[in-house]
Amino acid sequence: AQTVTQSQPEMSVQEAETVTLSCTYDTSESDYYLFWYKQPPSRQMILVIRQEAYKQQNATENRFSVNFQKAAKSFSLKISDSQLGDAAMYFCAYRSSMNYGGSQGNLIFGKGTKLSVKP
Amino acid sequence: GAGVSQTPSNKVTEKGKYVELRCDPISGHTALYWYRQSLGQGPEFLIYFQGTGAADDSGLPNDRFFAVRPEGSVSTLKIQRTERGDSAVYLCASSPTSLDTQYFGPGTRLTVL
């Protein structure tokens, strides 16, 4: 079974600075997807960034980028120029490729990292 | 357009009671997922619908939990004989197909006293 581990329960960053959130995962599959979701106090999960395992190029979305190391099974999120609105819980998630039998696209989440942004 | 909506936002019930939680997915999304998020944890998969049918219910913890999606849009998660351990946030997500990105609703916080 696949597992996702986020080893940093809490992180803090100064406004305008850069912070990196860590995520490792365990799988025997070669084709899969990885995600970072943001969950503010409103509870609604918001997709931050998505990475396909078959792509070597790291995904970027504006101030958000990932460092995807497939061999190391590592998928960290870098937030540049941190803003007060970035404060939230961040969840790393894994999803099997539909090429594998039994997979129905459900996400497997880590326990999350609470990010605080100091003004 | 409208996102995924869930009602009620909060539900407080007593141990042993029956509850229903509703999810309205984004129009046209055929895939619908239910997750449960306990305090301090990430969401855990409960059940997946493709259209009207439950394609994967392997995450349901026991037979007190049941979900339906009779017309392929709105889904209801039903919990019988609630227990204090059922207290959690129940999240619903939908996607155009099971291959696509999932969009989440704001969740229902269930508290069982």
Phi, psi (degrees; rounded to nearest 5) at A79: -110, 120
CB within 8 Å: A91 and B104: no
**pLDDT recorded at residue B47:** 95
Tally of CA atoms within 13 A in the half-sphere of B37 that contains its CB: 27
Does the structure show a pLDDT above 60 at B50? Answer: yes
Average pLDDT for B20-30: 96
Q: Answer whether residue A84 shows pLDDT above 80.
A: yes
Condensed to tens digits (0 to 9), the pLDDT of residues A31-52 reads 899 999 999 988 889 999 999 9
How is residue B28 written in tokens? 């046209």
B66 class by beta-carbon count within 10 Å (0-12 exposed, 13-18 middle, 19+ buried): middle
With 60 as the cut, is the pLDDT of residue A8 above it?
A: yes
From chain B, the residues in CB contact with A109 under 8 A are 42-44
Could you write out the DSSP letters of every residue in B36-80?
A: EE-TTS--EEEEEEETTEEEE-TT--STTEEEE-TTSS-EEEEES
Across the range A99-105, mean pLDDT stands at 57
Residue in A43, A98, A106 closest to B106 by CB: A43
How confident is residue A74, by pLDDT bands cut at 50, 70 and 90? Answer: very high
Contact B48 A42 (CB under 8 A): no
pLDDT at residue B84, as a whole number: 96
Does residue B59 belong to the interface with chain A, where contact is any CB pair within 8 Å? Answer: yes
A108 shares contact with chain B (CB less than 8 Å): yes
Give the count of Cβ contacts less than 8 A between chain A and B.
Answer: 59
Mean pLDDT computed over B14-26:
97
Judged by CB atoms closer than 8 Å, whether chains meet at A44 and B102 is answered as no
Question: Which has more confidence, A96 or B111?
Answer: B111
- Residue A99: the pLDDT is 52
Ranking A3-7, A55-59, A95-99, B28-32 by mean pLDDT, the lowest is A95-99
Q: Which of A44, A50, A106 sits opposite B105 (nearest CB)?
A: A44
Is the CB of A50 less than 8 angstroms away from the CB of B95? Answer: no
pLDDT at A103: 53
| Nearest neighbour of B42 by CB, restricted to A47, A50, A112 | A112
B55-103 confidence digits (pLDDT tens): 889 999 999 999 999 999 999 999 999 999 999 999 999 999 877 889 9
Are B42 and A4 within 8 A, CB to CB? yes
Q: Is there a contact between B33 and B25 (Cβ–Cβ < 8 Å)? A: no
DSSP letter assigned to residue B102: P
Q: How far is CA B28 from the centre of its chain?
A: 18
Q: Please indicate if any CB of chain B lies within 8 Å of the CB of A105.
A: yes
Instruction: Tell me, yes or no, if B57 comes closer than 8 A to chain A by beta carbon.
Output: no
For residue B49, the chain A residue with the least C-alpha distance is A104
